[in-house]
Amino acid sequence: MRHLIFCGNGCFFLCLEVRKSNIFEAVKESVTTRQAAEYYGVQVGRNGMACCPFHDDKHPSMKVDRRFHCFGCQADGDVIDFTARLFGLSGKEAALKLAEDFSVRYDAKGHDPPRRRPVKRKISEELRYRQAEQKCFRVLCNYLHLLERWKVEYAPQSPEDELDDRFVEACHMIEYVNDLLDVLMFAELKQRVKAVDMLLKDGTITALEQRLRRLEKEVQHHGEERAIA
Ligand SMILES: [Zn+2]
């Protein structure tokens, strides 16, 4: 179809169609789901198995290669589907993100075949940041879920009840943690980098991660009731 582009104005619509499909093709040709998964912080084993980011997966049940398939929740698709779902994007947005993150060249006019620049060095730097961001996100999400549970479970039953520390903490922290997650999800890159840097440098994430792990162990050993922070 591409040669039709040169036919003149009459083929403008066709040009647009080629443009549209071009980025999808370019991305799918240049980036495997496995590369994208690793780049966005999903750990993939040597056998290509990973913990599925789309369901609560304790043991790796997702196979990632050029495409992906989860044997747990049946999630399935190509690199664009994967990225779209991971970040809650449309297919087009995911393709654009992949093109940017992996420096995939696609000719907006649809003339050239897709090409890819060597970007190894850039990837390793970005990968490090992505993993840091992913870690902050994961720890904060876990903390938020815990706080939301505490806010309900330990809410005072009557006005005379003494306030439970967990309830108080939940009331104080939920909004703050939500705001942090908003920044990590939606802010400009510059702001996100700053937030991740701050969270990791001041030890917030490490301390929180250790505390959550300790709480989880206490819950396992003594049951929910004695899991006091
Ligand atoms: Zn799954």
pLDDT band per the 50, 70, 90 thresholds, residue 13: very low
**CA of 30 relative to ligand 1 center, distance in Å:** 24
Handedness of CA 140, 92, 126, 188 (dihedral sign): negative
Residue 74 CA, ligand 1 centroid: distance in Å: 6
d(CA 47, ligand 1 centre) in Å:
17
Cα–ligand 1 centroid distance for 160 (angstroms):
46
pLDDT at 17 over 60: no
Please list the residues that pair with 63 across neighbouring strands: 49, 69
**What spacing in Å lies between the alpha carbon of 131 and ligand 1's midpoint?**
20
CB atoms within 10 A of CB 202: 10
161-220 tens-digit pLDDT: 899 999 999 999 999 998 888 888 778 888 889 999 999 999 999 999 999 999 988 888
**196 phi-psi bin (left φ>0, alpha ψ -120 to 50, beta other):** alpha
Q: Cα of 83 to ligand 1 centre, how many Å?
A: 14
Distance 139 CA to ligand 1 centre (A): 20
How far apart are the CA of 137 and the centre of ligand 1, in A?
19
The amino acid at residue 161 is D
CA distance 133 to 107: 31
Q: Are 140 and 206 in contact (CB under 8 A)?
A: no
CA of 32 to the centre of ligand 1 (A): 18
Is the pLDDT at 128 greater than 90? The verdict is no
Report how far ligand 1's centroid is from the alpha carbon of 1 (Å).
38
- Ligand 1 center to 78 CA (angstroms): 14
Sequence-ordered alpha helix ranges (H) in 40-164? 79-87, 91-101, 120-153
How many whole angstroms separate alpha carbon 33 and alpha carbon 27?
10
Rg of the chain in Å (alpha carbons): 23
pLDDT one-digit tens code per residue, 56-108:
988 889 989 999 998 889 999 999 999 999 999 999 999 999 999 999 988 66
